[in-house]
Chains A and B, each alone.
Chain A
Amino acid sequence: MQEKIYYITGMHCASCELLIEKRLLKESGVKAVEASLGNGTVRIEYDGHVPRVKDLDKWFKSDGYSFSETRQKETRDPLVYFQDGKGIQVDKKVLKKKLSTLKKVALVFFVLWLIEKTGAASYVTLADNSSLGVFFAFGLVAGLSSCAALVGGILLSLTKNWNDQYGYDVSTKTKMIPHAYFHGGRLFAYVLLGGVLGMVGKAIAFENVTVYSIITLLVSAIMFLIGLQMAGVGWVEKFQIRMPKFVTRRVAGNGVRQGNQLPFAIGAGTILLPCGFTLIVQGIALTSGSFTRGALMMGMFVLGTMIPLLFIGLASVQGSKNPQRGRTFSFYAGVVLVIFALYNVNGQMNVLGYPSVSDVFAKAPSISSDATPSVNRQGEQIISMVAKGFSYTLTSSPTIKAGVPTKLVVDNQGIQGCGVFLSARGLMNGFVDLKYGENVIDLGTPKKGIYKITCSMGMVPPVTIRVQ
């Protein structure tokens, strides 16, 4: 059995894929065909004779498809060119266009950075007696900050598939149907979990940091590959990271009756992601002691996150209105996805206690690593830290002794974002919800090793503790 890949232009929806597949399977010798709208390719498995480009062009001429053995590159006006007599010239129109696009992308990053830096989260502090409006506002902030890197990234990756399947000639309203199901799934899962947490309390608290990390790493790896695919990196295309066709074709088919279970299920599944803000609300729902109150808290929070996420979805749908705009949007969205994925992976390296890029930029501890660990009257070692803004600052020796009972004392002077949920894999189990003021955490008798203290998402620059 041999294989041949052709490149196609002119496909616009899932039906185009099916049409090409069905027609080619009628040819003798053709054993299997897989057309991909997203990649603009058709892969043919055959014995003996394979259809040639001129055959394919002839068969599909009336459908508007064109085939080639190499990817057709768009001819673009060059930014810089050489002109006889004038030397090197810059095309001002092209430059203006590129700068305008860059400005838009930069604006998105600037707004996200500004929200994070202004510490908007600190103005929306939650407690178990907060009004439901505060939970909504907290969700709004969450959707605009670090949670956007995770849930927003997933949404961007999915949108690529959904847009591909619907094609270019479908209304924004129709293309937003899977988004509605995605958010419906989120709302359902959060309300249900909030209610259950409120009812049964700590019995079902999520404690396993490693499981959270593995889920996030897997999701980030997929986001990374989809990001590269969207940005048009050639070698990644062979991985074919897409939802199974039987699923996507259903999504693209009868938008109301069939196939929206998947966006719904994925939306519901986002509850498993360790976004710091979500963990905070889950923690408060746990203490509510009531199904209704817990459900309402989580419901209002997720409604708040929905606004920025719907904006991301709408932008991606608008960006796929035609092939040209679709490609441009796909490129920039791909770049954003890759950045989000790398940001998440780096964070999870911190959570797991492994080396990360954060180590390179970590501030040196103000106390020498040779300093003797502080000991209280009970003979327990003390690691003390101040949590403020978006950082943890160690105020005791970074080195402690193994096998000695140890306490971690965190003075929370207004930590923000995921920093409220502290993790220290290997030193303690699960995440700790930092209350304002002094928090004393029992670390038992630590074993030898190097440990990192960071937030639940690993995004707060980690503090490294050496146990020897």
Chain B
Amino acid sequence: MKTIIVQGMHCGACEKLIKMELEDSGLDRYVEHVEIFSEEKKGILHLSASTGDGQVAEIKKIIDNMEGYSTE
């Protein structure tokens, strides 16, 4: 399964915010579930098996453009 690590993501509001942003580009459907590590201020997006590399890159780009978050 493909994953994206998001630095700065620390709570449910962050998760929802990122999902809303992805929703605007129709990419939210690739996110299957999210794990959040509050103490580390880090989240992991677990993407569906059908997510292509192009979509992964696009998701990363959107998140990187959001203030306070960055992907690894």
Expressed in whole angstroms, the minimum distance between the Cβ of A186 and any Cβ of chain B is 25
Given the interface pairs A19-B17, A169-B11, the reply to whether A249 lies near B68 with Cβ below 8 Å is yes
Interface 9-residue window, one of A8-16, A140-148, A206-214: A8-16
Chain A 150-177 near chain B by CB (<8 Å), digits 1 or 0: 0000000000000000010111001000
Interface size on B, residues (CB 8 A): 18
- CB-CB under 8 A from A256, the residues of chain B are 7
Interface centre among B7, B10, B20, B38 (most CB of A within 10 A): B10
Q: Is B68's CB under 8 angstroms from A252's CB?
A: yes
Q: Is B41's CB under 8 angstroms from A258's CB?
A: no
Q: Is B39's CB under 8 angstroms from A170's CB?
A: yes
Answer whether residue B1 sits at the interface, using C-beta atoms and an 8 A cutoff: no
Q: How far is the CA of A253 from the CA of B12 in the complex (A)?
A: 14
Q: Is B38's CB under 8 angstroms from A19's CB?
A: no
Q: Is B67's CB under 8 angstroms from A250's CB?
A: yes
- CB-CB under 8 A from B38, the residues of chain A are 169-170
Q: Which of B10, B21, B67, B69 contacts A13 (CB 8 A)?
A: B10
Q: Is A254's CB under 8 angstroms from B68's CB?
A: yes
Q: How far is the CA of A32 from the CA of B14 in the complex (A)?
A: 21
Q: Is B16's CB under 8 angstroms from A63's CB?
A: yes
- Select from chain A the residue with minimum beta-carbon distance to B42: A254
Sorting the interface of chain A by its residue count into under 10, 10 to 19, 20 to 34 or 35 or more gives 20 to 34
Q: Is A246's CB under 8 angstroms from B20's CB?
A: no
- CB-CB under 8 A from A167, the residues of chain B are 10-11
Chain B 33-54 near chain A by CB (<8 Å), digits 1 or 0: 0000011010000000000000
Q: Which of B11, B13, B39, B70 contacts A254 (CB 8 A)?
A: B70
Q: Is B10's CB under 8 angstroms from A249's CB?
A: no
Q: Is B16's CB under 8 angstroms from A19's CB?
A: yes
Q: Is A23's CB under 8 angstroms from B20's CB?
A: yes
- CB-CB under 8 A from A170, the residues of chain B are 10, 38-39, 41
- Select from chain B the residue with minimum beta-carbon distance to A257: B70
Which residues 180-238 in A have Cβ within 8 Å of B in the complex? none
Q: How far is the CA of A336 from the CA of B70 in the complex (A)?
A: 38
Given the interface pairs A19-B20, A23-B20, the reply to whether A253 lies near B69 with Cβ below 8 Å is yes
Given the interface pairs A16-B13, A19-B17, A63-B12, the reply to whether A257 lies near B7 with Cβ below 8 Å is yes
Answer whether residue A428 sits at the interface, using C-beta atoms and an 8 A cutoff: no
Q: How far is the CA of A22 from the CA of B17 in the complex (A)?
A: 8
Q: How far is the CA of A23 from the CA of B13 in the complex (A)?
A: 12
Given the interface pairs A15-B14, A174-B41, the reply to whether A22 lies near B70 with Cβ below 8 Å is no
Q: Is A250's CB under 8 angstroms from B17's CB?
A: no
Answer whether residue A56 sits at the interface, using C-beta atoms and an 8 A cutoff: no
Expressed in whole angstroms, the minimum distance between the Cβ of B5 and any Cβ of chain A is 12
- CB-CB under 8 A from B11, the residues of chain A are 12-13, 15-16, 167, 169
Q: Is A258's CB under 8 angstroms from B70's CB?
A: yes
- CB-CB under 8 A from A444, the residues of chain B are none
- Select from chain A the residue with minimum beta-carbon distance to B9: A15
Top 5 A-B residue pairs of the complex, sorted by shortest distance between their CB atoms:
A253-B68, A15-B13, A253-B8, A254-B8, A15-B14
23 residue pairs A–B, Cβ–Cβ below 8 Å: A13-B11, A14-B68, A15-B13, A15-B14, A15-B68, A16-B11, A22-B21, A63-B13, A167-B11, A170-B38, A170-B39, A170-B41, A171-B39, A174-B41, A246-B67, A249-B67, A250-B68, A252-B8, A252-B68, A253-B69, A255-B8, A255-B41, A258-B70
B interface residue numbers (CB < 8 A to A): 7-8, 10-14, 16-17, 20-21, 38-39, 41, 67-70
